[in-house]
Amino acid sequence: MKTIAPCLLALALGASVQPALADDDCDAPVAHWQPRDAVLRMAAEQGWQVQRLKIDDGCYEIRATDAQGRAFKARIDPQTLAIVKLKPHRERERRRGHD
């Protein structure tokens, strides 16, 4: 009985972590989405040069460079245009270092 309790605790903790992994997904109904042009305007206001704009997991996803030329990916909430996730785009930076 003593070995079952730690296993159940580990299982419960593991189950509670799972939803946190999907936090960067967006779930706004399509009827409430702002148009792609609004996303591009928001990016321009940030000083971003957008190379690609696509939809992934219900979010707008931008591949761009900032005003300093650093490459990154950003996930944007399609309803509010809030930045959900922002991370450096490593593949492009690696290529840039080899040029």
The β-bridge partners of 87 are 73
- Which residue is associated with the tokens 């399609």? 78
Q: What is the pLDDT of residue 66?
A: 95
Give φ, ψ of 28 to 5 degrees. -70, 140
Query: Is the per-residue pLDDT at 69 higher than 80?
Result: yes
pLDDT of residue 84: 96
pTM exceeds 0.85, yes or no: no
Residues comprising the chain, all counted: 99
pLDDT in tens, 20-38: 445 678 999 999 999 999 9
Q: Name the pLDDT band for 89 (thresholds 50, 70, 90).
A: confident
Q: In the chain, what are the domains? A: 24-98 (3.10.450.40)
* pLDDT(59) > 60: yes
